[in-house]
Structure formats: structure tokens, C-alpha cells
Chain A
Amino acid sequence: MSNALETAHLSKRYGRTWALQDCTLALPAGRVAALVGPNGAGKTTLLNLSVGILEPTAGSVQVLGSSPLKQPTKTLPRLGFVAQDHPLYQDFTVADLLTLGRKLNPGFDDQLARARMQKLGIPLDRRAGKLSGGQQAQVALVLALAKRPELLLLDEPLASLDPLARREFLRTLLDATVETGLTVLLSSHIIGDLERVCDYLIILSASQVQLVGDLQEIGQTHKRLIGPRQNVDAIAHVHTVIEQSQTERQTTLLVRANGPIFDPSWEVQGVSLEDIMLAYLGRQAGEQLAASSSAHKGMEVVQ
């Protein structure tokens, strides 16, 4: 299967700050991917570069086989995008917004949009500004979905929603992916809600890609190892140590296993996705920590 999104050494700099650096990744078509990372990690930058709103400082991005910046007429009709805080024309009624969708998109599915609005109980004559935050997010999502896109990108769609609105939003999204086989990339700084809908994971931290891959595979290959205090060099030769903490008696590791773990001195445990994410996000902070106080007692973090 081809890739819906491909980036190669994609970088973006604002003044002296790199918002995204040397980002190379691929998102296979048909996947529902979570783009996670702390605030300021470069998630919005990556998404905006992907849809062609931003111009990269270096590197390239291909969306559905075309450059979003150089061939907008090829990519725009096939892309759906809901920006952060789902901006809408506040003085437009929902019906006006649907008219906007119909007038500006040749393949706009007006029936689908109306049906979804009805299902969600959003009145068409209500002004967007008068809708609740959750309803506005839903309207923005329906507008993007009714374009019948092949790739849908959502920037922090859940951030401003309460738990109930979150669930409804994800349900709308899930319905659409099941019906059409659409590729989705949605960013978030929390992973909890996404585990149910996503099957692909991209971890971004400190403007760099930390991990990309199939969610299930990531869950299976990452292990927590607990054993008596010992040198970790041996195991680091075979497996990738993501996080390491040592007490006087005990060493705990979070590793990405590159095969079976044979050493019987380690007790092998599964690890939650949340912990994996935190371990990767902690790497950058850990490096800085290690650099600032090298004589750190009790616990040290190795990358």
C-alpha cells in the first residue's frame, strides 16, 4: 500500500528556533495515526507543513503523491483539515457553512453533511458562534469529512472538549474511517483517548521525531525489564534502552526489544502505551537533566 503522507528531512525554522528538524516519516494509506508530543514539540508545524499552509525551511513533504505547496490543485480537494481550535466563521449559520463547503469543493457531499448535523442534533439555522465548543468541533469535522478527503488531518481536535464531547467526536471520526477507509492523522498531547481509534503512532518531541510505527507492534516490542542492580551495557548491545532507572539494589529498564530477551536475570513485563510515550518524551528532558547535573545520585537516565 502506498503512503498517504511522506516527509524527508522536513525542517521549519522561525528566526533562530527550529520548530521541526530533520523529520523523516511515512504514513501508510488507510491508517489512523496519532501524532503525540508535548506542547511546543512541533506537531502543529508538521501538520501545517503537510497541508501546505507553511513552507518548509528545508526538506520535502509529499501528500497523496504530490507537493501540497507546489501542486495545491492536486492535493487540496483530497485533503481534509481541522486546524487547532477548529476555526469557523463565527457569524455564519451552520447552513451557511455547508453552503461554503458546497461552493468551494467540487466533491462536497451535502447530504452526508446534513445527515450528520441532524444525527448530532445541531440546528442548521444556528450561528457558529452560538454553538458549544464541542458542537463547533463537530461542525468543523463534518465540514472536513463532507469534502470526501483521502487524508484527514486534525490538529488537537480533542483539546478543548469535555469527555462526553470527546467521545462523540471520536465516534463521528471512527464511523467515517470505517465507511471510507480514509487515512487520518490527528495530533494530541494526551494518548489515552486515542488508543481506541488509532493504529499507528508518531511521537514527536523537541522538534524531532522520536518514534514512528504500528501501534500494536510498538506495544509488543517495548518491554519493562526489572532485575538486580547491574551494568546495562550487555543488554544495550542487543536491545535499545529507552529509559533506565537504578536504585541501590534494582535496575529498571524500558527497552525496545530487537528480538527475544534470553537473560534470565531480568523479569520481563509489558508496558502501557502511556508509559512508552512518556519514556520517549522524557528522553530529551533526561538528556538535559544528565547534562546539567552529571553526578545525579540514585537515578540516572541514559538515552
Chain B
Amino acid sequence: MIWLTWRQNRIEGFVILGALVLSSIFLLITGLQMTQDFQQSGLSACLAHHPGPNVQGSICGPLATAFANQYGSLILFAVVLMLLSSLLGVMVGAPLVAREFEQRTTQLVWLQSITRTRWLSVKVALVLLTGLLVGGALLVELSWWYRPLSPLIGPLNPVAFDFSGPVLVAATVMAFGLGMFAGTLTRRTVFAIFLTLALLLAIRLPVEFGLRPNYEPPVTITWPLAQLGPPPVTVGSQDWILGEGFIDAHGNQTPNLNCHGLGETLTPLQCLQASGYRANYLSYQPADRFWTFQWIETSIYAGIALLALAATFWLVRRRRV
């Protein structure tokens, strides 16, 4: 059965391998260049001599800004690679069962001497393994690649978070699992691919934008209106700032200012006080919560992957051809 699954999907296997090799080459070239520049520019040594959470505000600030300006945009490629891993999951996972239904080969393979549960188990095992390998390989590569940028931007950054820990592996496995589920449900390859993409968006967007900022209650600091300007405490470059603004008359946090008469008769402070604003605020997630957040999100994605695979088994066991 392992032979059969490999024989059926070896082209996909080679495509995945090719994609991994190409991305590795790209990451290696840009990564080496980035590391070299990190050291030659003196940023590496500066950070070693002046450790502190706030890089931008420290003596290394100009160096860090220059470095971030030069390489920050490369993060986009990391995002593309991360999306690619999910896309591979969809492209491989969705046809895995759907194609057998479409070409009616289920009626050939289900009538050999093995049960269809066994048939599906091998496919699922292979999918899990591939998901783990692809996700794991990308995780190792991207973690190494991101090292110079990490002290400047931090791993909790909404973009970097996705490829800086086990979430990347769980998300990849989830894409494979949802693909298999959609393929078994619809029994149509093309339909299954679209359904999987829709499911992935419907899960990941709410998780990343709705749930993630609140895995733990954010830290909120407030300071008097009279003290205009930056917050009185140092927020590190690696902390994830969720929002800043004013506390209004009702005690709500608002990033928007609605102040009448500003500049005409009132100073900014007078205007704020007249409009009922009480204080400045800044809310953020401290960088040291990174691992907690990673494991929470990993559990969510891994849980969904397991549910999808369980549903796939249930469908195959009870559905007609």
C-alpha cells in the first residue's frame, strides 16, 4: 500500500522536493548575504555591546534602521514561502482522494484484499509525514534566515509569527488535512481545491486577526494627557504593539481623536481635556509571550487538522462510491 501511494503521487513528491530545493537555494543566498552584512555593518557587534529591548531607541538605532530598510522587504519572500507550504498542502491533499473518486479507481483499489480504512490510513500517514517534513524543513530554514532581522522586528510580529515556530508546521499539516477532507466530501478535484482554499481563509484570517491578539490579555499602560509624547515606559522592538491612542470619557480605548476647536482657541491639551479624554494608552503583547502564543495557535491548527482527518475517515467508511 505504501508502494501504491508513492507510485500514485510520486510526481507531486518530486514537485514538493523541487519547490523545497529552490526555496532553500533562495534562502541560502539571501540569508548568507544578510548575515554577512549584519556583521560587516557593525550592527551585530553593536547589539552585543548594548543589549536592550528597544533597539531603535538605543545607540544602534541608525545602524538597525539602515539594515531593516535594506532587508525588511525580504520578509515578503518569507511570507510567500509560508503561503507556498499551505498551497502545496492544498494541491496535494485535495486530489489525493478526490481523483480516485473521479477516475473511479476506488472501485479497483477497494476490491483488493485490504480494507478501505487501511487504504485511507496509508494515505493519511503519508500526508501527515509530508506535511511535517515540508513544514519542518521550511521552519528550520526560515528560522536560520530570519535570525539577523529578529532582534529588530521580533518573532511576535504578525507576519514573522507565522514562520517562526511550530505554527508553520501545524498550518501546513492543516492545509493537507483540509485538502483531503474537501476531496473526500466533494469527490471533485477542482471543486475540492477551491473549497480547501476557502476553508483555509475562513480559519486563518479570524485566528490571526481575531484570536491571536487576545491569547492572553494585552498589557495596557496609561499615562496622563498632560504628558504628551511617547509613553513613559520603554516598549521593546520585539513587543507586539496592538494599539495606542486615548482613553475617552466613557473609559474606552480609541485610536481616533475627535477634538473640536483645535488650533483656533485651544491648545491640543486643552482641547483633549475639553472633549473628555482622560489619558493616553498603549496596549501590547510582550515579546516573552511568543512561545505561549505559538503553542496555543499550534494546538488550534493541529486540532482542526485532526478533526478534518477524522471526518475523512468517517466519510470513507460510510459513504457510497
Contacts and interface: CB of A to CB of B under 8 A. Distances in A.
Given A54-B321, A83-B104, A99-B3, A73 B111 contact: no
A79 interface: yes
Contact of B111 (A51, A85, A103): A51
A103 B108 contact: no
B114 interface: yes
Given A48-B321, A96-B7, A87 B104 contact: yes
A87 B103 contact: yes
Contacts of A195: none
Nearest to A78: B113
A89 B318 contact: no
Contacts of A211: none
A143 B108 CA distance: 10
A96 B321 CA distance: 24
B58 interface: no
Contacts of B3: 99, 103
Interface in B67-109: 103-109
Contact of B113 (A53, A83, A106): A106
Given A76-B114, A77-B113, A104-B4, A89 B320 contact: no
Contacts of A73: 115
Contacts of A48: 320-321
Contacts of B114: 76, 104
A18 B318 CA distance: 19
B108 A88 contact: yes
B1 interface: yes
Contacts of B321: 48, 53-54
A81 to B, nearest CB: 4
Interface in B1-54: 1, 3-4, 7-8
A265 B8 CA distance: 69
Nearest to B11: A91
A51 to B, nearest CB: 6
Given A83-B108, A105-B112, A55 B1 contact: no
B291 interface: no
Contacts of B109: 100, 104
A76 B113 contact: yes
B110 interface: yes
Contacts of B107: 53, 81, 83, 87
A148 to B, nearest CB: 11
A288 B113 CA distance: 44
B103 A85 contact: no
Nearest to A96: B7
A101 B318 contact: no
A74 to B, nearest CB: 11
A72 B113 CA distance: 8
A50 to B, nearest CB: 11
Contact of A92 (B1, B7, B104): B7
Nearest to B111: A81
Given A87-B103, A88-B105, A147 B113 contact: yes
Interface of A: 48, 51, 53-55, 72-73, 76-77, 79-81, 83, 85, 87-90, 92, 96, 99-101, 103-107, 140, 143-144, 147
16 contacts: A53-B320, A55-B320, A72-B116, A73-B115, A76-B114, A80-B111, A81-B107, A83-B111, A87-B108, A88-B105, A88-B108, A89-B105, A103-B4, A106-B113, A107-B113, A140-B108
